[in-house]
Structures are given as C-alpha cells and as structure tokens.
Copies of this chain bind each other. A is one copy, B any other.
Amino acid sequence: MLTEAVILAQGNELTQGLTLDTNSHWLASRLVELGITVRRVMTAPDRLEDIVEILRRGAELAPIVVSTGGLGPTRDDLTAQAAALAFGGSLRLHEDALAQVQARFVAFGRVMAEVNRKQAVLPDGCRVLENLWGTAPGFSVDSGSSRLYFLPGVPREMKPMFDRHVLPDVLARHRISAPLHVTVRVTGVPESVLEEKMQGLERPGLEIGFRTKLPENHVKLRFEPGFPAAERLALVEEVRARIGWRAFGVDSGDLAEVVGQALAARGETLALAESCTAGSLSAWVGSVPGASRYLLEGAVVYSNEAKVRTCGVDPALLEEHGAVSEPVARQLARGIRARAGATWGIGITGIAGPGGGTEAKPVGTVHVALAGPETFEEHRALRIPGDRARVVSLSAAAALEMLWRRLSV
C-alpha cells in the first residue's frame, strides 16, 4: 500500500525569499527513499492562523506530517502554540523538556536566558523529541490517524533529529521495508560519461541514477526490497570497476576523508602550498576529524615573497614564467614538502578571478603539482570555467584527486 506524507515549513525568512528552503528538499528525498509519496509541501509565514491552517490541512492530507521551524525562543516562534490551537489542546511547561534545554546550555557552558524556558512550553500530551544538537526540543502529536512531527529549522539540528526520532517511528508505524540505496562517489568524470559506462547494467529491481554534486559526481543505485544481497554487492563492485580509481568511495566520505584515511593507514603525511585557493584545500583536508595526524603544514602564499620565503621558489623562475606557471607549481609542491618534512607536497597556483586574467592566462588558468617520495613529481594544467568560488573549489578537488590516484593503487 501507498504511504503518503506532507512536509510543512514555517518562517518569514522562507515566505520572504530570504532563506532557500533546503530542509523540505532534504526531507522529501529522505521520505521518497523509503518509498513514501509526498502529497504536499506547504510553507507559511510566522503567523498563527496560517500555521494552524497548514497543520490542520497537513493532518487531513496524510498520516505522516513533518514540520520544521518555529521552535525557537523568540516572539515569532509560534509552532507549539499553533499545534495546541490546531488540535484543541493547551500548552504547558514540560519539565523533562526544560531539563533537556538546561542540559544543552550546561553542555555549551552558557547560562540559560529566561526566554529559553519558552522552548519547553509544548502542547499538553505531546511526545518530546530530544535535541542533542541544539537547545530547541522537538515534539510529536497525533490528530486522527495522522502523526505530526515538529523539528527545529536549523538543518544541522533537524537532520539528525529526523534520523533519530522520526525515521524509526515512521518505519515501525507503517511497517515499511525500505529499498536499499547505494551511492558510488566519483571525482573528475562528467555525468554523461558515467551514463555511458553504465550501459547494460539495467535489470529488474535496480534503478540507476546520476547526480552531480560539485566537485563530485554520483552514480546512485536503488535496489528494491528483496533484491539478492550477493548480486547487489557484485553490481556495486562492477560499477566501481567500470569507473576505476576515480570511483573513490561508496555512500559516506568525501574525497578529503578518503584521502585522509589512506594517509593515516599508510602513516604518510601531507603539506600544502596554496596561492589562488587561499587555504581552501587546507580547510577542506582539515575538515576531517583527526586531520592533524597527517596534515603537517599548509602555506597560503599569495605574495611572490611568501612563495620564495616559504617554499623556496626560485625568483628567476617567477620572473621568467610568472607566478601562475607549471615550474612555479612544481616548486611550491616540492618546497612545502621539504619544508614540512612530509611524504606528499601539493602546490596550487592560478587565477581565480574576477580580475587578473590575461590573453595568455585567462581567469580559470590553474597549475597544480604533486611532489612525493624520492623524485616523484606530477603536474596538471587546468582551465576552469566559472566564478571565483567555482575555480577555487575545482582546483582544490583536482589537486586532491592527483594525490588520491597515487594513494589508491
């Protein structure tokens, strides 16, 4: 049987077009993964009558209603009040919820303001959903055959709360056996090429999709419940084999995590010299927990002086070829590697724009180099279309990809 759901979002920032509603998008894909049909997404401003109306309508439309936003401490956070009003209940202070809010503040080493008590004032008889990621508890209430789940609007609180509280409850209540999704993560292969490589893999019970999520591309496999596990694993391997080393991972873990795991496993280390990416690659590599074990040093060497001083780039080379050139990229990689005493050194120099482009070296011209054990050295010249942010992110990815190729063998 078909299980249906409604997604609700609240907040003037949404109806005023200030904030893009990524929560509803995330929830929709999450629910669809479970084979649940989303009948409606409804967004209302911070206005009591409007919120009450979408809550009631949501409960009429579907047995599953997920609402985000409006649980904060300020005057315009009306969701709890609206929920009580919509389903004829009243509000009361929930001691257990208050204890949770207080615990959050203690954990954050902050003093709880009076206004935050409001976050524990919830509909009478609701189930409190603990928020381990922020101060606003969620809750759920029933109306007829429908159950409404209320989560905060902050994505990094909403998402784990959905997975921890809503997902298991929905699966249990509706006896859903979810299809299995596997995402093969790929670097440096366009969607169209991936689509060609997958020709002939189609079969009953398997759906193959493609997604671009810069700087990555994804091959998404959806297996119907009951699809033979052995065949499933074989198919995932087949997909990886057809793509090769550029298929760097399955499901979780971006390129920085995968490279980090490989470095840690080999007991190898990394040092970075960045010009046009200005520390973006270093920040990306450093975003992985435990990165300090292998990321020895990073240098942001915008000025020629810094390139010479920190990476020992030859001033004559800078003079002859310019800062954005193959020999300079190579010396940055080799120089920072030697300086830090790391196994691997990466050098990036380029023109991120919008200014600084020339006939010979237009915006998007980037040179990346990798230096490794003994005399190992490698260089790539890139020409990246797009704005400053895109040039920076794709140069960083291209450089990390060079290292991954060496670590993946």
Contacts and interface: CB of A to CB of B under 8 A. Distances in A.
Interface of A: 12-22, 24-32, 37-45, 50, 54, 72-76, 107-110, 113, 115, 133, 156, 191-192, 195, 209-211, 220, 272, 274, 277-283, 285-287, 289-292, 295-303, 305-306, 309-310, 339-341, 353-356, 362, 364, 383, 385-390, 392
19 contacts: A13-B211, A15-B37, A15-B41, A18-B211, A20-B20, A39-B45, A41-B42, A74-B191, A75-B195, A76-B209, A156-B389, A277-B286, A279-B280, A287-B389, A289-B353, A289-B388, A296-B306, A297-B302, A309-B339
A44 B40 contact: yes
Nearest to A190: B113
B50 A39 contact: yes
A385 B286 contact: no
Nearest to A310: B297
A279 B283 contact: yes
A272 B300 contact: yes
A301 B31 CA distance: 43
B73 A192 contact: yes
B300 A298 contact: yes
Given A278-B295, A303-B296, A27 B22 contact: no
Report, nearest first, the 3 A-B pairs whose CB atoms are least far apart: A278-B286, A17-B29, A298-B300
A355 B293 CA distance: 12
A40 B50 contact: yes
Nearest to A292: B302
Given A292-B302, A303-B296, A28 B41 contact: no
Contacts of A22: 20
Nearest to A28: B17
Contacts of A297: 299-303, 306, 310
Given A17-B28, A355-B290, A390-B156, A298 B295 contact: no
B12 A28 contact: no
A8 B56 CA distance: 19
Given A16-B29, A40-B44, A43-B41, A278 B291 contact: yes
Nearest to A73: B192
A124 to B, nearest CB: 26
B50 A355 contact: no
A82 to B, nearest CB: 14
Given A39-B50, A279-B279, A389-B287, A32 B20 contact: no
Contacts of A279: 272, 274, 278-283, 286, 298, 300
B40 A28 contact: no
Given A278-B298, A282-B282, A283-B280, A15 B44 contact: no
Contacts of A42: 40-43
A28 B394 CA distance: 30
B25 A40 contact: no
A31 B390 CA distance: 27
Contacts of A289: 353-355, 388
Contacts of A109: 362, 364, 383, 385
A13 B364 CA distance: 29
A19 B32 CA distance: 13
A30 B274 CA distance: 37
A296 B292 contact: no
Contacts of A195: 74-75
Contacts of A74: 191-192, 195, 210
Contact of A20 (B25, B54, B290): B25
A286 B298 contact: no
Given A18-B220, A41-B43, A74-B195, 17 more contacts: A15-B39, A17-B30, A19-B211, A75-B195, A76-B209, A107-B385, A108-B383, A156-B386, A277-B286, A279-B298, A279-B300, A282-B283, A283-B392, A287-B392, A290-B355, A297-B301, A298-B298
